[in-house]
């Protein structure tokens, strides 16, 4: 296939497996979202794809050829926007672009044209002669983004490209991502912002503990567990809380109520057929816990994400 193919990618540090047999494909012009909690293995995966980290096993291929970081021609098919800014604060924006362009084999008139294009694309033309030390966070992010595009890569890896920036810069960067896709550039888009992923990605992968939990289009992901039901009751004894937590997402509220969230219930289940709702209701009835309400809503990507990865805080 044309594009990126990751197959069985695995990486361990000592006894800890941080990426575990990960496989996915990103087609030409496709924006593929990669989401997961902190420590899920996203950054390690991206570093292995770029050849910055050697995998223990598995392969990365591009256009049907195994990726080789030592092959300059193949390496220049890729661009990467790291989460940490990779720019020189003492150089002007145009000097940064010229430096990194030359590092990637762009020179002469082509370099001049590409620098002008990137400055215009990222809205930095008026600030071309200013140093990043005078930039806002959004301007620095835009420059960081533009550097990856100078050599006209056919595939771009984006690691949290909009973290901590103003709404205008965020809008500009998302527009740039969409334009790259229209131009046929494949994109691996890692982000914690679910609304961004929903807005720009054609397919999405959810990973945790280095493992693939789900992947597909947004409709495919949510169709698997489209309906979320919330059963509201009063305070629960600890043993009952623990029992229900094995079936559903149980949360205490400051008002003293308990919300029991059931993901993956179908409309027929809400009518009383077998399924997690019926099991929850049977447990509550046996314990003589009165119901206060039963509500349903369409599952969002964030709800699905939390149901798969949990609500435990990550470092």
Average pLDDT over residues 134-138: 93
Q: What are phi and psi of 186, to 5 degrees?
A: -80, 145
What are the pLDDT digits (tens) for 285-297? 999 999 999 987 6
pLDDT for the residue numbered 57? 96
Residues 180 and 268 in one domain: no
Bridge pairing between strands 16-27 and 186-190: unpaired
pLDDT for the residue numbered 271? 43
What are the pLDDT digits (tens) for 85-123? 999 999 999 999 999 999 999 999 999 999 999 999 999
- 211-216 β-sheet, strand order: 78-81, 155-159, 186-190, 31-35, 203-208, 211-216
pTM of the entire predicted model: 0.78
Weakest mean pLDDT among 168-172, 191-195, 219-223, 279-283: 219-223
What are the pLDDT digits (tens) for 30-71? 999 999 998 899 999 999 999 999 999 999 999 999 998 889
What are the pLDDT digits (tens) for 188-208? 999 999 999 999 999 999 999
pLDDT for the residue numbered 277? 84
User: Half-sphere exposure of 35 toward its Cβ, with a 13 Å CA cutoff?
Assistant: 27
Residues 194 and 212 in one domain: yes
Q: What is the mean pLDDT of the chain?
A: 90
pLDDT for the residue numbered 269? 40
CATH number at residue 233: 3.30.70.100
Position 276 confidence tier, pLDDT thresholds 50, 70, 90: confident
Residues 6+ apart with CB under 8 A from 18: 11, 12, 39, 41, 44, 210
pLDDT for the residue numbered 225? 47
Residues 55 and 202 in one domain: yes
- Exposed/middle/buried for residue 267 (C-beta within 10 Å: 0-12, 13-18, 19+): exposed
Give residue 162's Cα distance to chain centre: 12
SS3 183: coil
Residues 269 and 248 in one domain: yes
What are the pLDDT digits (tens) for 228-267? 788 999 999 999 999 999 888 899 988 889 999 886 555 4
Number of separate domains in the chain: 2
What are the pLDDT digits (tens) for 159-185? 999 988 999 999 999 999 999 999 999
Residues 294 and 256 in one domain: yes
Residues 138 and 261 in one domain: no
Residues 102 and 194 in one domain: yes
Last residue of a domain, which of 217, 244, 277? Answer: 217
pLDDT at position 226 over 60: no
CATH number at residue 30: 3.40.50.300
User: Rounded CA gap, 6 and 151, in Å?
Assistant: 23
Residues 170 and 193 in one domain: yes
Residues 6+ apart with CB under 8 A from 106: 114, 150, 151
Residues 173 and 195 in one domain: yes
pLDDT for the residue numbered 95? 97
Residue 308 placed within a domain: no
Residue 303 placed within a domain: no
Q: Output DSSP code: residue 76.
A: T
Residues 21 and 166 in one domain: yes
Query: DSSP alpha helices (H): ranges in the chain?
Result: 42-49, 72-75, 93-103, 108-121, 137-147, 167-182, 194-200, 218-223, 238-245, 267-270, 276-286, 301-309
C-beta separation of 11 from 44 below 8 A: yes
pLDDT over 90 for what percent of the chain?
A: 74
270 closest CA partner among 229, 225, 223, 222: 229
| Structural domain containing residue 87 | 3-217
Residues 247 and 195 in one domain: no
Residues 40 and 167 in one domain: yes
User: Rounded CA gap, 40 and 22, in Å?
Assistant: 12
Q: What are phi and psi of 231, to 5 degrees?
A: -100, 125
pLDDT over 70 for what percent of the chain?
A: 92
User: Rounded CA gap, 55 and 257, in Å?
Assistant: 48
Residue 76 placed within a domain: yes
């Amino acid at each position: 296939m044309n594009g990126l193919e990751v197959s069985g990618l695995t990486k361990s540090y000592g006894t800890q497996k941080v990426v575990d047999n990960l496989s996915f494909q990103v087609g030409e012009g496709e924006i593929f979202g990669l989401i997961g909690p902190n420590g899920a293995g996203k950054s390690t995966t991206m570093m292995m794809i770029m050849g910055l980290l050697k995998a223990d096993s598995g392969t990365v291929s591009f256009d049907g050829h195994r990726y080789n970081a030592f092959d300059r021609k193949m390496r220049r098919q890729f661009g990467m926007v790291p989460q940490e800014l990779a720019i020189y604060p003492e150089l002007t924006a145009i000097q940064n672009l010229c430096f990194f362009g030359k590092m990637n084999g762009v020179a002469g008139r082509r370099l001049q044209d590409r620098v002008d294009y990137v400055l215009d694309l990222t809205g930095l033309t008026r600030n071309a002669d200013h140093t990043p030390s005078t930039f806002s966070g959004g301007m620095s992010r835009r420059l960081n983004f533009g550097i990856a595009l100078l050599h006209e890569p056919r595939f771009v890896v984006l690691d949290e490209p909009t973290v901590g920036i103003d709404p205008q810069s965020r809008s500009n960067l998302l527009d740039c991502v969409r334009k790259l896709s229209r131009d046929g550039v494949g994109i691996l888009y890692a982000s914690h912002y679910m609304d961004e992923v929903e807005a720009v990605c054609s397919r999405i992968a959810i990973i945790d503990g280095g493992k693939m939990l789900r992947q597909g289009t947004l409709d495919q992901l949510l169709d698997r567990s489209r309906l979320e039901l919330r059963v509201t009751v009063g305070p629960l004894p600890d043993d009952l809380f623990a029992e229900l937590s094995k079936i559903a997402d149980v949360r205490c509220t400051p008002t003293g109520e308990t919300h029991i969230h059931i993901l993956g219930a179908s409309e027929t289940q809400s009518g009383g057929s077998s399924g997690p709702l019926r099991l929850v209701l049977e447990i509550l009835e046996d314990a003589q816990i009165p119901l206060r309400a039963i509500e349903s809503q369409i599952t969002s990507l964030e709800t699905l994400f939390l149901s798969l990865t949990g609500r435990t805080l990550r470092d």
